[in-house]
Amino acid sequence: MTRKRAAVVSFPGSNCDEDCVRALRTAMDADRVWHTARSLDAYDAIVLPGGFSYGDYLRAGAIARFSPVIEAVHAAAERGVPIIGICNGFQILLECGLLPGTMRKNVSRKFVCAPTTLVVARTDTVFTKAYDRLERIRIPIAHGEGNYYCDEETLRRIQHQIVFRYEDNPNGSVDNIAGIVNAAGNVLGMMPHPERAVDRWLGSTDGVRLMVALAAV
């Protein structure tokens, strides 16, 4: 079997791109791809990493959504390619409509960096099949706008799309949402950083199974 290859898209201001590449490489090949790329056809998986694309000016992800690469991301989403948006990447996926809802400032109105415990709500996605249902995993967060919001009607509709919930809600997200997938199940957005939980020196290895699952798609 040939090794799978992931694209980690760098936007101006992305800053977790290198971390994602390093974490993915334990399981698969990974390249950094600059946001001006027009095609992502060569890749088996796509990661939109964390950071402050375009300085997070106006709203996080609002400007990145117009980068040339986003069309290719839409196309890949339609083809069923697994796509993960982490932190700022999640915000971008919301802004470009690949996932429902929106992100607002943390209720504390402060940036928060901390280890958190997530409860895995779904294990039947390509991303989470290596976890146990309702398993508690340790994955850190680092964001100022991670307060997930959608209206009640939407919340009812996406119940089945919720993949991760916070055990202790750190930012005010509705329904303790930390990560959701699209209806088709191939686009995942999550605020916590799995790439920061990949070896014992970092305090948790719970992110590794996500990387491995992605490589096995």
Partner 1 sequence: MLWTAHIRVSVKQNVLDPEGQAVQRALHMLHFDSVTSVRVGTYVCVQCTANDEAEAMQRVSQMCDTLLANPVTEQYAIQLERVEAHDA
Partner 2 sequence: MVERIATEPTPEDIDTHKLYARMGMTDAEYALVVQQLGRKPTYTEIGVYSVMWSEHCSYKHSKTLLRLFPTTGSRVLMGPGEGAGIVDIGGGRAVVFKIESHNHPSAIEPFQGAATGVGGIIRDIFSMGARPIALLNALRFGNPNDARVRYTFEHVVAGIAGYGNACGIPTVGGEVAFDEAYTGNPLVNAMCVGLIEHKHIQRGIARGVGNPVYYVGPPTGRDGIQGATFASEQLSEQSASMRPAVQVGDPFMEKLVMEACLDVIARGLVLGIQDMGAAGLTCSSAEMASKAGNGMELWLDRVPMREPHMTPYELMLSESQERMLFVTTPDRDEAVRDVFAHYGLDCVHVGVVTDTGYLTLKMDGHIVGHMPVRGLVDDCPIVEPPAEVPAYITREPTVYPPVTDYACVLHALLAHPTIASKEWVYAQYDYMVRTSTIVPPGSDAAVVRIPDTHTALAMCTDGNGRYVYLDPCIGGRIAVAEAARNVVCSGGQPLALTDNLNFGSPQKPDRYWQLQQAVIGMAQACTVLNTPVIGGNVSLYNEHEGKAILPTPVVGMVGLVHDLEHVTTIGWKNEQDVVFLLGDTYVEWGGSAFQAVVYETLEGTPPMLDLEVEKRLQDHVLACIQAGWIASAHDVSEGGLAVALAECAIAGNIGAKLTMPACALRPDEWLFSETQSRIVVSTTPVHAQVLMRHMQEAGVPIVCLGTVGGNDLVVGAGEECLIAEPVDALRTTWKGAIPCMMQR
Counting contacts by CB under 8 A, is residue 13 touching partner 2? yes
Window of 1-9, 52-60, 134-142, 201-209 that interacts with partner 1 by CB under 8 A: 52-60
CA distances 23 to 95, 163, 168, 169, Å, are 26, 21, 26, 26
Window of 117-125, 127-135, 140-148, 179-187 that interacts with partner 2 by CB under 8 A: 140-148
- Among 7, 23, 24, 63, interactor with partner 1 by CB under 8 A: 63
Cβ proximity of 36 and 68 under 8 Å: yes
CB of 209 to partner 2, least distance (A): 17
- 163 by DSSP, 3-state: which? strand
Determine how many CB atoms are found less than 10 A away from the CB of residue 36.
11
Sheet harboring 83-86: ordered strands across? 29-34, 5-10, 45-48, 83-86, 187-190, 177-181, 162-166, 112-120, 136-143
Per-residue contact track with partner 2, 39 to 78, x per CB under 8 A?
-----------xxx-xxxx---------------------
Window of 13-21, 65-73, 76-84, 129-137 that interacts with partner 2 by CB under 8 A: 13-21
143 is a catalytic site residue? no
Contact partner, 58, from partner 1, partner 2, none, Cβ < 5-8 Å per class:
partner 1
Counting contacts by CB under 8 A, is residue 114 touching partner 2? yes
CB of 178 to partner 1, least distance (A): 18
Per-residue contact track with partner 2, 144 to 183, x per CB under 8 A?
x---------------------------------------
- 132 by DSSP, 3-state: which? coil
Of 87, 96, 143, 145, the active-site residue reads 87
Listed in sequence order, the residues at least 6 apart from 24 whose beta carbon sits closer than 8 Å to its beta carbon are 6, 8, 30, 47, 195, 211, 214, 215
d(CA 147, CA 166): 12
Determine how many CB atoms are found less than 10 A away from the CB of residue 134.
10
193 is a catalytic site residue? yes
3-state helix, strand, coil in the chain (%, to 5): 30, 30, 45
Catalytic residues: 87, 193, 195
Interface contacts to partner 1, rule CB under 8 A: 54-55, 57-59, 62-63, 66, 95, 101-102, 104-105, 107, 109, 147, 149-151, 172
